[in-house]
Amino acid sequence: MAKESKRGDGKKAAETPAKAPPLPAGADQPTCFAEAVGTGGETHQTTDDVNQTLTTQQGVPIADNQNSLKVGSRGPTLLEDFILREKIFHFDHERIPERVVHARGYGAHGVFELTNSLAEFTTADVLSKVGQQTEVFVRFSTVAGRAGSFDLARDVRGFAVKFYTRQGNWDLVGNNIPVFFVQDAIKFPDLVHAVKEEPDRAFPQAQSAHDNFWDFASLMPEAWHMVMWQMSDRTIPRSFRTMEGFGVHSFRLVNAEGASTFVKFHWKPRQGLQSVLWNEAVKINGADPDFHRRDLWDAINAGDFPQWDLAVQLFGDEDAAKFDFDHLDATKLIPEEIVPLRIVGTMTLNRNVDNFFAETEQVAFCTQNVPPGIDFSDDPLLHGRNFSYLDTQLKRLGSPNFTHLPINAPRCPVMNFQQDGHMAMRNPKGRANYEPNSWGAEGGPRENAEAGHRSYPAPLEGEKRRVRSETFSDHYSQARQFFVSQTAVEQKHIGDALVFELSKCERVDIRTRAVSHLRNIDEDLATTVADGLGMPLPDAAVAARPTLDLAPSPALSIIENGPASFKGRKVGILLTDGTDAAIFAALVKAVDGEAAVYEVIAPKIGGVTLDDGTKVAARHKLDGAPSVLFDAVAILPSEEGAQMLASDAVAKDFVSDAFAHCKFIGHSAAAAELFSEARIPAERDAGFIPLDGAKACKSFIEQCGELRLWTREFDVDLDAKTVVTDPRPE
């Protein structure tokens, strides 16, 4: 029998500064802003008022607020950087009690099984023994919104995985996007402040469509690769289950001989990629603000366990030297065509939490948590994160003993001399609480040079300076590569998103600066956005380096990486009294054949009586189940039922939204009257499938595996200026 979803009770070059784009003539001048924000350099004020000098909390004037202190231009960040320390310390403690970012999250338990050993590259047990299973806990999240915000915000999604390995916990704390907005952790608080609600009015919540974010982005050329991802459908995923995950940074794998290999981590969903349309996202947030939470909970409860393959990109220093970008720059990715992915294992989420607060809310991730055999690169954003996360957990959970909580506790022996503190649930036993000591076997644990974590002895050279490496200065080439890698309809969505977001900016100069960056990415896109905003096309922003025309990467498209079938997706079936029982049964059988899910919608929650007298319970009353909640819909009213629905505004919205959102629509002959009243064109496209028998029902569900009839969007959207026969490239 088909599954009816259950309710949710269940990487050296001379450093040269690159200037940000100048403010347009006549624009309001801010009292103080960094002119050199692209690749570092000196910061210049636009005012002679010395009282406007940026200082620390202790009043110490700050010479450079753009770069953390490091060894040379590409070396590690130094612990002595008190400016970075204070800034992030203060930032980490801004919210009580929820997370400053990633406040709205949802988690589940699972297991990771290694299928391809990396023992030649690392001593990490979790990546070495084929067949070994490791317990994991995964937390998905939005970034900008608070804990009570909605699931379908246009936002980056956190994708954090805690591996409870035999060598201690490994936290792979990433996002569903492989790049980030900023290159140096010292800018992270500024980014978050800019994207969060504006401080004087405390809105808008959980969105970037406001002046502060776009003001910041328009003054930060490095952000524009990430901006392209943010404006794409990647930030409105259909489900946690249909998102990719990325470790973002380059890490190191270190083997038994002490040799190092750089690595980037990727999670590839076996369910395929899928997003929703913006108009859908808006309506889903109204109909079900917990849409992503409910989807994950229901899938696991139904035994449809979501799975991701863990893949790695492995490369050495010689490989990195050949890249036309710096792999230590978190605003860059390594295209899969340059360094192919190597799948090493599979993660399966198979158990929901028992208590949301105890597990999902109290779980504490720290990027510095790595087992022996995994180490860090000199990515300055990664170093700042390593510095920050302990601070965050102390503030949020109130104690240095947060690892005593069951969800954070390692599943291997923990032995040290750390003791006491607020809410200590365990303390070392015996007389010795220090090391070294002379108490012999009773003196407690000792360091282990062979098994312990050893940092890779990377050679370091350079002056201590606040500087950004020149190798970080190409801000637009990969942004362009991302855009040209999208299908036509995905490119349209990016343009639509930019127009929508920038239209929410009250200041014309902010919109102008933003569009000036687009001219360095794609001229047609810049023209489209300027036209959509009703503004003249501005001069291109000054670029530190010319934009390279990189080859497209099909891996960057959602549509090109969609599912192979309708498996795990959901069809909404609208029934009325008198619906053809044989057609309904055939459709249910077809849904079952694709391992998909159906939910019945009816005019009343009590359900309907089919034409053979069978009573069918409804999962939803029509008023509470708009078509945005489903991947496809089937409209199966009787003739009398169709007449009733044709006079109902909610029923007409149900079908008109499904049509506008390019969904496949299966229907009975009687549905024609409803379609007419909902102003569906009489000449219907290939997305309408008459359901007049078992064969048609099976064909309908198979066709639904395409998820959308994207050609329809170019016919029904006023903003679509190009008519194509098939948005998918051959």
Q: Catalytic residue numbers? A: 102, 175
Using CB atoms within 10 Å of the CB of residue 575, give its burial: 0 to 12 exposed, 13 to 18 middle, 19+ buried. Answer: buried
Query: Do residues 121 and 257 lie in contact, with contact meaning Cβ atoms separated by under 8 Å?
Result: no
Helix crossing, 488-503 with 508-518: angle to 10°? 160
Please name the residues in contact with 112: beta carbons below 8 A apart, sequence gap of 6 or more.
126, 133, 134, 135, 136, 161, 163, 310, 345, 346, 347, 348
For residues 706 and 308, give the distance between their C-alpha atoms in angstroms, rounded to a whole number: 21
* Strand 251-254 relative to strand 168-175, pairing: unpaired
Rg for the chain, CA atoms, rounded: 27
Q: What tokens does 440 get? A: 């012999």
Residue type at position 250 = S
For residues 465 and 457, give the distance between their C-alpha atoms in angstroms, rounded to a whole number: 21
Mark out the alpha helices in 337-422 (DSSP H runs): 380-397
Query: Do residues 154 and 497 lie in contact, with contact meaning Cβ atoms separated by under 8 Å?
Result: yes
Cross-strand bridge partners of residue 142? 157
Query: Do residues 61 and 52 lie in contact, with contact meaning Cβ atoms separated by under 8 Å?
Result: no
- Phi and psi at residue 71, in whole multiples of 5°? -85, 110
Query: Do residues 420 and 427 lie in contact, with contact meaning Cβ atoms separated by under 8 Å?
Result: yes
Q: What tokens does 610 get? A: 């089919």
For residues 172 and 184, give the distance between their C-alpha atoms in angstroms, rounded to a whole number: 19
For residues 661 and 709, give the distance between their C-alpha atoms in angstroms, rounded to a whole number: 9
Please name the residues in contact with 370: beta carbons below 8 A apart, sequence gap of 6 or more.
170, 171, 251, 376, 453
Query: Do residues 37 and 219 lie in contact, with contact meaning Cβ atoms separated by under 8 Å?
Result: yes
Q: What tokens does 666 get? A: 């299966």
Apex 73 CA angle, 71 and 75, nearest 5: 40
DSSP, collapsed to helix, strand or coil, labels residue 173 as strand
- Residue of 104, 154, 105 lying closest to 279 (CA atoms): 154
Please name the residues in contact with 208: beta carbons below 8 A apart, sequence gap of 6 or more.
144, 154, 155, 195, 214, 230, 501
Q: What tokens does 211 get? A: 């002046």
- The CA distances from residue 41 to 65, 412, 554, 674, in Å, are 10, 47, 36, 64
Cβ neighbours of 567 (radius 10 Å): 15
DSSP, collapsed to helix, strand or coil, labels residue 463 as coil
Q: What tokens does 77 get? A: 């960040």
- Phi and psi at residue 315, in whole multiples of 5°? -160, 155
For residues 508 and 536, give the distance between their C-alpha atoms in angstroms, rounded to a whole number: 11
Please name the residues in contact with 323: beta carbons below 8 A apart, sequence gap of 6 or more.
11, 334, 338
Mark out the alpha helices in 377-507 (DSSP H runs): 380-397, 477-484, 488-503
Torsion of the alpha carbons at 673, 676, 678 and 684, rounded to the nearest 10: 110
For residues 700 and 691, give the distance between their C-alpha atoms in angstroms, rounded to a whole number: 8
Cβ neighbours of 279 (radius 10 Å): 14
